[in-house]
Amino acid sequence: MRFDLTDLRLFLAVVDAGSMTHGAAEVGLSLPAASERLRDMEAIGKVKLLERGRRGVRPTPAGEALAHHARLILRQMAEMRGELSEHASGLRATVRLAANTAALTEFLPQRLGAWMAAHPRIDIDLKERQSIEVARAVAADLVEIGILSGAVDTGGLYLRPFAVDRLVVVIPRDHALAASRRLAFTDILDWHFVGLADGALQGHIDAQAQRLGLRLKMRLRMRTFEGICHLVAAGVGLGIMPETAARRGGTSAGTAYVRLADDWATRRLSVCVRAEKELTPAARGLFEHLGSVGSH
């Protein structure tokens, strides 16, 4: 059987996502290209690897066997690259990192700056994903390091504490709710909102409303927290964002913020890997930096 590394990464991404579309996006392929590769893999192996249905895809027994061996092969490739990089001089290394929105926007820029300046030959391939997708990507060896919320299943991964992310409601300073000490999510669902245009954090917030059988009354979606703060100050609607972003944007935008009392609004972020011994030297150095007490 002649499967290349792209085939194996694609197959693992599809299996772990349970979706052809999401799996293809994870490895940077179009859906038609991914579908053709998977059909070719089944034709070459003369065996059905995936069961396709309305709710997505799942591996057949043959597919589960392939997924097991694919993980072993990709892990060995990572170890080989790591050993070779120790002997190579003047070569660049890339670390694959996936993080949720809060980590990416509020913590990583500061955490990565000094470290990357001290390691000028190491680049980082950074992707924004929801925490559950981060866990899957690390488990499938699609990325070497992940930063995610403790609210998701991280069984089988090695974690270190990274940061605490507290979500708050951003409110105009003269708003009736601005004097509140804490607010429950259900206390604000009758108001209109300004949200993020996309990203893992907005998906997390929207999912909490869906759990209650509701949808946020969204008037407008912006690409930055600063943009949300300015619109909140103008009275367009309320916003939900990390406390660090609200504190930074509130001074100039004329807003106040109140912490959300719900358990899901206080998230302990962790940095995770499959196993430290599997990491390349570059990835191991970054993982130790992100998970060190001195970086908090």
Q: What is the pLDDT of residue 81?
A: 74
> Assign residue 28 a region: left if phi > 0, alpha if psi is -120 to 50, beta otherwise?
left
Average pLDDT over residues 128-151: 89
pLDDT at 294: 42
Q: Which sequence spans correspond to the domains of the chain?
A: 5-84, 89-163+267-295, 164-264
pLDDT category of residue 90 using cuts at 50, 70 and 90: low
Domains 89-163+267-295 and 164-264 fall in the same CATH topology: yes
In order of 26, 82, 85, 106, the CA distances from 119 in angstroms are: 27, 16, 14, 22
Distance between CA atoms of residues 61 and 188, nearest Å: 48
Mean pLDDT value of segment 90-112: 88
| Residue 46 pLDDT greater than 50, yes or no | yes
The CATH classification number of 89-163+267-295 equals 3.40.190.10
Residue 86: other Cβ atoms inside 10 A = 9
Q: Which of 65-74, 87-96, 198-207 has the lowest mean pLDDT?
A: 87-96
pLDDT digits (tens, 9 = 90+) for 29-40: 999 999 999 999
Q: What is the mean pLDDT of residues 58-73?
A: 90
| pLDDT-based confidence at residue 296 (cuts at 50, 70, 90) | very low
Q: Domain 164-264 in CATH: superfamily?
A: Periplasmic binding protein-like II (3.40.190.10)
Q: Report residue 262: phi and psi, to 5°.
A: -65, 145
3 or 10: which leads in pLDDT: 10
The CATH architecture that domain 5-84 belongs to is: Orthogonal Bundle (1.10)
**In the predicted model, is pLDDT for residue 159 greater than 60?**
yes
Q: How many residues does the chain have?
A: 296
* Proportion of the chain in helix, strand, coil states, percent, rounded to 5: 50, 25, 25
Read off the tokens for 295. 């970086």
Mean pLDDT of 262-284: 91
Beta strands of 102-245 (E only): which ranges?
122-128, 145-149, 158-172, 182-183, 192-196, 217-222, 239-242
Question: Region 70-75: what's the mean pLDDT?
Answer: 86
**Alpha-helical runs (H) found in 28-147:** 31-45, 61-87, 101-102, 108-118, 131-139
Query: pLDDT, tens digit, for every residue of 160-194?
Result: 999 998 999 999 999 999 999 999 999 999 999 99
Give the confidence band of 89 by pLDDT, cuts at 50, 70, 90. low
Residue 101 has pLDDT above 90, yes or no: no
| pLDDT attached to residue 168 | 95
